[in-house]
Structure 1
Amino acid sequence: MAQRPRQSSGSTTASQSGGATRRRGSELEEAILQAAWDVLVEQGYEGFTYEAIAARAQTSRPVLYRRWTQREALLQATLRYGWPEPVALADTGRLRTDAIAMMKHFGQSNRVEIITQVGAQLMAYFRETKTGFSDLRKMMLSPERAGRVATIVKRAVERGELAAMPTSPRVLTLPVDLVRHELLMTMRRVPDQTIIDIVDDIWLPLLHRTAAAQD
């Protein structure tokens, strides 16, 4: 099963004398979300219950209900907790090298392992909610994550490297979409040359044509 890409705080649940340690605030929430992530990847959506998560976190169901009154809210919080970290935001002074550095980070094989395996565990959720992987992607694309490619493109415009900021979000996210496709099709790290080809042969020419048309 997919392993969470970040380490939990490792907060203890027992004192040195063997009694229960009272956890509060962020420490308790970390323990709950780590437990929820573990339950999800081990038991799937069918096993993703308040009872199972509370038992795994060594807490009570009312503690979970006070924070997440609906199962879907708890699921979304769990996915955001365990999802791969946003890709590194390079600043090399050139759009091409910024994009290649970002896509190399995004193209690491452990990302697709996590996304694909957790996605497989959510098939029952997709059936129940009549949603799919594209809806999951939209849910996980917070403004902070979605705006990283736009940031390096905006820098290029400010440097005069690009005539204008493309208005189409599809144009901006194209390299991410193509690298993701490679990950899902091969289930392994995307080769550096493939990333260079995506940036040089497809994305940069399209960016310049789009920017010139808008200028």
Structure 2
Amino acid sequence: MNLKAGGQTRRRGAALEQAILDAAWEVLAEQGYPGFTYEAVAARAGTSRPVLYRRWPQHEDLLLATVRRFWSSQPIELPDTGNLRADAIGFLRNADVGRTRMLTLLSVQITDYFRETGMSLGELRDTIGPADQPPPFDTILARAVERGELAEPPRSPRVASLPFDLYRHEVFLSMKPVPEDVIEEIVDEVWLPLLGVG
């Protein structure tokens, strides 16, 4: 058995990587991008900088791995209620529970990263998100077409993603969860009329 001083089991492999990324997320949340250093993360994780460098040679590699882990650890459940309106509102409610804190934290804590790299939050999302999954509202719309609620899905990706785009806009404006009435307004007064559903 591999032991550290004091009889504690030495962390290796996936367990060590998880501990490092947990520590990295804590550093990012508390200190923001300026404080997100190899030194700070290694100290928080109880390991050494060379251990981090071997896994993530570049500072950006460590940041993206940290954000990717916590983005993927909080997936937004995609409802399948049998109704277009209920699916859309349900998804936005689930996003409000699962992603509001992360969205606000990222928009505030890594502003300097966006400024330094020229990357936008949308580009970051595309970088860390799963490449093999369709956008959630594409799935919601496809199901509605299969059920006969829509003749065909909208041709514009912007129209398809509009509810989540408006939801995210509300989050960034208020930096807090979006009220239920606003979620319903986004769906009932903007999106469904745009789709020709009444």
Aligned pair partner of 1:95 in 84, 92, 95: 84
- Does 1:188 find its partner at 2:176? yes
Q: Which amino acid aligns with 1:51?
A: E
Alignment partners' CA distance in 2, 1:167 and 1:68: 40
Q: Shift in Å at residue 141 of structure 1?
A: 4.2
Residues 136-215 of structure 1 aligned to structure 2 (within 5 Å): 136-143=124-131, 147-208=135-196
Indicate the residue corresponding to 1:8 in structure 2: none
**Identity over aligned pairs, percent:** 53
Q: Which runs of 5+ in 2 are unaligned?
A: none
Q: How has the CA–CA distance of structure 1 residues 183 and 124 changed in structure 2, closer, same or farther, with 3 Å as cutoff?
A: closer
Indicate the residue corresponding to 2:65 in structure 1: 77
Indicate the residue corresponding to 1:40 in structure 2: 28
Normalising by structure 2, what TM-score? 0.84
| SS state at 1:107 partner | helix
Normalising by structure 1, what TM-score? 0.79
Q: Which amino acid aligns with 1:201?
A: E
Q: Which amino acid aligns with 2:94?
A: H
- Does 1:62 find its partner at 2:60? no
Matched pairs, number = 195
Alignment partners' CA distance in 2, 1:144 and 1:101: 23
Deviating beyond 6 angstroms after TM superposition, the runs of 4 or more aligned structure 1 residues are 14-17
Q: Which amino acid aligns with 1:199?
A: V
Indicate the residue corresponding to 1:7 in structure 2: none
Q: Shift in Å at residue 96 of structure 1?
A: 1.0
Once the two structures are overlaid, the 10-residue window that deviates more, 132-141 or 157-166, is 132-141
Residues 115-130 of structure 1 aligned to structure 2 (within 5 Å): 115-130=103-118
Q: Which amino acid aligns with 1:77?
A: A
Residues 102-117 of structure 1 aligned to structure 2 (within 5 Å): 102-108=91-97, 111-117=99-105
Q: Which runs of 5+ in 1 are unaligned?
A: 1-13, 210-215
Q: Shift in Å at residue 129 of structure 1?
A: 1.4
| SS state at 2:161 partner | helix
Q: Is the 1:107–1:180 Cα contact (8 Å) retained in structure 2?
A: no
Q: How has the CA–CA distance of structure 1 residues 52 and 191 changed in structure 2, closer, same or farther, with 3 Å as cutoff?
A: closer
Q: Shift in Å at residue 49 of structure 1?
A: 1.6
Once the two structures are overlaid, the 10-residue window that deviates more, 16-25 or 125-134, is 16-25
Q: Shift in Å at residue 130 of structure 1?
A: 2.8
Q: Which amino acid aligns with 1:202?
A: V
Alignment partners' CA distance in 1, 2:92 and 2:111: 28
| SS state at 1:80 partner | helix
Q: Is the 1:112–1:184 Cα contact (8 Å) retained in structure 2?
A: no
Q: Shift in Å at residue 41 of structure 1?
A: 1.6
Q: CA RMSD in A?
A: 2.6
